[in-house]
Amino acid sequence: MTKAKMPRSFNDRMFALRLERSRDDLFGMLERLYGHRTDYAAFADDLTAALKAGWDARPERLKWRDMERDLEPDWFQRPDMNGYVFYIDRFAGTLSGVPDKLGYLQDLGITYVHFMPCLKPRPGDSDGGYSVMDYTEVNPALGTMDDLETVARACHDRGMSVCIDLVLNHTAKEHEWARKAWEGDETYREYYHMFVDDTLPKSYEATLVEVFPANAPGNFTYYDEINRWVWTTFNEHQWDLNWANPRVFLEMVKVMLFLANKGVDVLRLDAPAFLWKRMGTRCQSEPEVHMLLQALRAASRISAPSVIHLEEAIVSPAEMLPYLGRGEHDGKEGNLAYHNSLMVQFWSALAARDTGLMTHVLRRHFPTVLTNATYATYIRCHDDIGWAVTDEDAAAVGLSGASHRAFLSEFYEGRFPGSFARGALFQVNEETGDKRISGTTASLAGLEAALEAGDQDAIARAVDRILMGHALIASYGGIPLVYMGDELAQLNDYSYLDDPDLAHDSRWLHRPRMDWQRAARLPDGGATPEGQVYDGIRRILARRAASPGLHGAVPTEIVDTGQAGHFAFVRRAPTGPIVCVFNFTDQWSGLPAAWFARQGASRMYDLLSDAPVFAPDGGVPLPPYARVWMT
Ligand code: GLC
């Protein structure tokens, strides 16, 4: 920029600098997406004005936060980042109840909180809040935008970052844009995918998959009143936005900056895989999706630089990585993305008592390091578990994909002989045979059945499975997310069946209300299974925070122990490797000290238990569901 053009005020100069830093990342993509349109120049001007307006409106407090995070751009990769995910109503009643609960979270070691959908949903069934009718208002049942701002500030004061959902793929059909489209406003009809007859919908449908085959079959809905077909990938009330229209991009940037300026640090971009439609494809993860996501990321980087993006792409392993920026998007797309494969493989290996597939998938598809990005790791979330295991990956380890997926569903439904799990099916697809699973961590890991049977050994094993899972996600690389109530070992909640708005959706099985009475009795010195789980998770998070070698930028290299029940990786930290081993079986096993030494861990100190490991026979004993982080 020449001197003459340099703006005078500090604020304007800062904006100019930030715009220049990311101009190519933004407009480079937008020109390719929209440059052919006659309205492109006007759009580009409007976008620049929106970015400037967003920056001008940004509170000074948050501009300091921007500065801080410019100075420590790895903040979200640090090992003291520990996440917690909750529904505001089920956790604290309303937003104004949240500050009182932050002490509890801080005590658990939490530095990142994800409030499940909290923007104004449509009335009635809103897909758990993912059917949004106003992005600029908070769900009135939870509070107001001012409350959100207050809570975000309270979190910041405690050193916690705040994440909220931003649904990009669709709005509720009650959203103002959709209402205008309904009334015939052509400008707003362009915001959605509307068709006068079913010719195109039928052609698209030939290659589309169904997300909710059981209760929302098909991807299009016909409305007699307007004589139009509307693209509705998810539920009928969720209308897909038309991202080929640059006005949609512009609207969403305004929404993003509005939310960022309320103090949100992390935007969880919901279901981004579906943003771009292309005839003859599944309309998932098309190249344009990554261009859009890079451009959105650049927009945040310009006008709300401390904000990062978490991408929710629940797709196959190979398809997921690009959401963290691959190829030309390297380092420029999602800062975070859910590691769905790690979650799926955890449950798969637990059921199979064999880690062959897990080791294959995680080694084959995932690089040892990511640029300017890391995973959000988890063992359970608010959604079902879909068995994202491809036929190719299964075949590579001698399994049939279809049989293994069927086995996993049966196992976690609790029907497979010898299964320890209690779960429920979700969205059985009669055509493909695909079955997904709902259930809480504790119930899927065997605690519900063990408690019912009064079987002390089985209870102990369930607790160990849960803690092994948490030790895995806390060390693999990425921000581990504790899903509300999991730290209390909360079991399945069958009460959703009595609520007509929820009964059709078994995901409510694992969305129980927070059991504060139970929480009040903890810690209990390990007297109860929930006490053991709570202490165990708290300790895992504390040990993670105290282990610099678990930083997200440290390579994760999958290694073999030579035993079918072990999963192992080495975090190759500059300060020396950390060798993480997990025993996925209910049998005792062991590993020679020499094996650890070969991986570089000759000190034989377990960071997780914070104690030296004595290996009298030269072997490290690994009890059922053991977990060690050896240095
Ligand atoms: C995401 C959410 C899920 C929701 C869907 C549609 O996958 O996690 O709960 O049903 O998007 O918005």
Please write the tens of the pLDDT for every residue from 192-215: 999 999 999 999 999 999 898 888
**pLDDT score of 266 more than 80:** yes
- Between 8 and 30, the more confident residue is 30
Average pLDDT over residues 365-372: 94
Which of 240, 270, 354, 606 is catalytic? The answer is 270
Cα 312 to middle of ligand 1, angstroms: 9
**pLDDT score of 287 more than 80:** yes
Based on its alpha-carbon atoms, the radius of gyration of the chain, rounded to whole angstroms, reads 24
Query: What are the sequence ranges of the domains in the chain?
Result: 8-70, 176-240, 549-630
Which ligand 1 atom is the nearest neighbour of the CA of 212?
10
Ligand 1 pocket member 234 (CB < 6 A): yes
Average pLDDT over residues 483-512: 96
Residue of 135, 234, 314 with the most ligand 1 atoms within 8 Å of its CB, for mutation: 234
Question: What pLDDT is recorded for position 125?
Answer: 92
Cα 198 to middle of ligand 1, angstroms: 26
* Residue 312 is a catalytic residue: yes
CA dihedral sign of residues 269, 273, 279, 282: negative
**pLDDT score of 7 more than 80:** no
Does the global pTM surpass 0.85?
yes
Neighbouring CB atoms inside 10 A of 475's CB total 28
Ligand 1 pocket member 212 (CB < 6 A): no
Instruction: Round the average pLDDT of the chain to a whole number and report it.
Output: 96
CATH topology of domain 176-240: Oligo-1,6-glucosidase; domain 2 (3.90.400)
Confidence of residue 431 (pLDDT cuts 50, 70, 90): confident
Question: What pLDDT is recorded for position 226?
Answer: 98
pLDDT digits (tens, 9 = 90+) for 558-605: 999 999 999 999 999 999 999 999 999 999 999 999 999 999 998 999
Residues 503-535 as b or e (16 or more Cβ within 10 Å = b): eebbbbbbbbebbeebbeebeeeeebbbbbbbb
Confidence of residue 475 (pLDDT cuts 50, 70, 90): very high
Ligand 1 pocket member 129 (CB < 6 A): no
Which ligand 1 atom is the nearest neighbour of the CA of 381?
8
pLDDT digits (tens, 9 = 90+) for 156-187: 999 999 999 999 999 999 999 999 999 999 99
Question: What pLDDT is recorded for position 617?
Answer: 67
**pLDDT score of 5 more than 90:** no
Question: What pLDDT is recorded for position 182?
Answer: 98
* Chain centre distance of CA 65: 24
Which string of DSSP letters, residue by residue, matches 39-54?
Answer: THHHHHHHHHHHHHHH
Ligand 1 pocket member 43 (CB < 6 A): no
Question: What pLDDT is recorded for position 144?
Answer: 98
What's the rounded Cα separation, in Å, for the pair 67 and 81? Answer: 19
Average pLDDT over residues 265-286: 98
CATH class of the structural domain 549-630: mainly beta
* Residue 530 is a catalytic residue: no
Average pLDDT over residues 376-397: 97
Cα 227 to middle of ligand 1, angstroms: 28
Burial tier of 403 (Cβ tally within 10 Å: 0-12, 13-18, 19+): exposed
Ligand 1 pocket member 586 (CB < 6 A): no
Which ligand 1 atom is the nearest neighbour of the CA of 131?
12
Average pLDDT over residues 487-499: 97
Ligand 1 pocket member 271 (CB < 6 A): yes
What's the rounded Cα separation, in Å, for the pair 292 and 37? Answer: 16
pLDDT digits (tens, 9 = 90+) for 77-103: 999 999 999 999 999 999 999 999 999
Cα 271 to middle of ligand 1, angstroms: 6
Question: What pLDDT is recorded for position 602?
Answer: 85
Residue of 130, 131, 164, 215 with the most ligand 1 atoms within 8 Å of its CB, for mutation: 130
Sheet holding 566-571, edge to edge: 556-559, 566-571, 578-583, 627-630, 605-606, 611-612
Question: What pLDDT is recorded for position 454?
Answer: 98
